[in-house]
Amino acid sequence: MRVVIQFRPEADSAVRLAASEVAGGELPGFTLDQDYGPVVVPQGIELTGSSGAQWDTVVVRGEVEDEAAAAAVRQSTGVLGVFADPTIQPVITCGDSGAVGTWHDVETLLHVPDLAAAGLDGTGVALAIVDTGINAAKVGQVRGSRPTVDAARSWNPQGVSGAAGQFPVDHGTMCTFDAMIAAPAATFLDLPVLRSARRGGSPTDGLLSDALAAYAHLRTVLTDQPESKRALVVSNSWGVFSPDTDFPVGNPGNYSDNPNHPFNTIVGALAAAGADVLFAAGNCGRDCPDGRCAFPDRPINGANSHPSVLSIGGVDTGNQRVGYSSQGPGRLAERKPDVCSYTHFLGSTAFGADAPDTGTSAACPTAAGLIAALRTKYPATVVSPERLRDLVQRTATRPGGTEFDFDYGYGIADAPGLLEALRQESVRA
C-alpha cells in the first residue's frame, strides 16, 4: 500500500536526514518512491536539547506491504508517523437533472457589477486551481476573455506533462470558469494534481501525496509575495469518497479523521501563513449521493472538514440546497459545511453544450472567485483568513432561519453583506 512517512528533522538539514535514512535502507519493509522529492511540512516540533527551537518536518512517499509493516516502520528512529496516501477524486455530481439558470444569473446573485464598481475584480490576486488542469482557450471561448494563467507560479506533479493553461478540457476548466465569474482579473495558478500518474487509476484520480507537494509549492508562492499585498486563494474541488485507501479511523496513519496527517497539517500551515483555502464539501448528500460515496456517515472528511478552511456546500440559483451537497457534521471540525455557494447552472460547457457546471465542485470555485474579488483591496495582512472566514459565516443569508445547520452551514455566502462588513473593518482599522 502507498504511504507517506513523516520524519523528525535534524537542525542542519531536515531534507538530507529524510533522504539519507530512507535511501540508506534503514527502514525495512518500506520501498522509497525515488521520483517523489522530500516535502518540507511546516510544523512546530520542539527537539530535545534545542532550547525550544521549532523545526519543520519532512515527508517522503513509498510502499509498505500492509498495516503491520507500516506499524513496524513507525517504530524506526526518526520516524514521526506513517500515514495513508489515499486516492483523491473530483467531486462532480451524480445528478443528471438539467441546469437551473446560467452563469449570468450567478453574476447577478454575487452582485458582480457592484464588486467591479468597487474595484474588486481579483486584480493582483493569485487564485490556485488544484484540480485536473486548466484549458484557458476553452474558458475564453465561452466567456469571450481568457483567464490569465501564471506559468511560472503553476506546478505539475511528478510524471505529469503539459503546460499550464493548456491541459485537456475537463473538471479543472470548469472550476476556472466558475472562479472567473466574480474574479475575472485574477491571476490563475494551474496545479493539475488530479492528473497524477498512478498505475491502474483513472485519468482523473490523484494521490494525496501530490496535493501535499502542491501545497508546499503554494507556501513558497505565498511567502514570495510582498507582505503588504499578500493574497492567495486556493480552490479544491476534490476529496476522498471512500475509506478503502485510508487507514482505519483510530489508526495513527489515518487521514479522514486525523488532524495530524501531514496534509491536514500543511493545509493549516498555509492558512495560518495568509492563504484563503476553500474545499468542496462533497457530493454525498442524503438526497442524492454520488455512487462513489462509501463513508457510512459524516462524509465531509479530511481537509474538506479542516477548521481553517471554508468548506463549501451547494445551492442552485433559486437558493435551494442541491440534494447531492454533503451534510455535516464534519470529521475534523463539526460545524461543516461553512457556507453554500452556487452550482448546477449552465456555464463552462466543459462537459457538453447543455451540461451544467455542477456538484460542490462548481460551488467551491464560485465561492473562491468571490473571496479573490474581495482580496483585491483587502489582502491577508489587512484582514486575516481567519477573520475573513468569520465574516463569511456571519454575513451569510440563512435559509433555515437558524444560526447554523448541517444542510446550509451558516447559510449562503452573501457578497453585499461581506463587502459592507469589510468596509466597516477598514473604518475601525
Q: Is the peptide bond before 329 cis (omega within 30 degrees of 0)?
A: yes
Cα distance between residue 368 and residue 167, in whole Å: 21
Least confident of 68-77, 164-173, 196-205, 365-374: 196-205
Which tops the pLDDT comparison, 108 or 33?
108
Q: What is the pLDDT of residues 102-145, one digit of tens each?
A: 999 999 999 999 999 999 999 999 999 999 999 999 999 999 99
Answer whether residue 343 shows pLDDT above 60.
yes
- Residue for grid cell 462513489: 292
Per-domain boundaries in the chain: 2-84, 89-428
Give the pLDDT band (50/70/90) at residue 8: confident
Cα distance between residue 307 and residue 313, in whole Å: 15
Pairing of strands 87-90, 148-149: unpaired
Give the pLDDT band (50/70/90) at residue 77: confident
Same fold, 2-84 and 89-428: no
Q: What is the pLDDT of residues 403-423, one digit of tens each?
A: 999 999 999 999 999 999 999
Mean pLDDT of the chain: 90
- On the 0-12 / 13-18 / 19+ scale of CB atoms within 10 A, 102 is middle
CATH 3.30.70 fits domain 2-84: yes
How large is the average pLDDT for residues 192-196? 91
Cα distance between residue 329 and residue 338, in whole Å: 10
DSSP label at residue 176: H
Cα distance between residue 334 and residue 384, in whole Å: 22
Cα distance between residue 363 and residue 194, in whole Å: 18
Q: Topology of 89-428 in CATH?
A: Rossmann fold (3.40.50)
Which tops the pLDDT comparison, 42 or 251?
251
Cα distance between residue 361 and residue 340, in whole Å: 12
Q: What is the pLDDT of residues 273-284, one digit of tens each?
A: 999 999 999 999
- DSSP H helices, 166-315, are 171-180, 208-224, 262-273
Q: Is the Cα dihedral 387, 109, 286, 96 positive or negative?
A: negative
Cα distance between residue 103 and residue 101, in whole Å: 7
Which contiguous run of DSSP H or E holds residue 87? strand 87-90
Predicted pLDDT at 402: 83
Cα distance between residue 284 and residue 299, in whole Å: 6
Give the pLDDT band (50/70/90) at residue 58: confident
Q: What is the pLDDT of residues 216-229, one digit of tens each?
A: 999 999 999 998 89
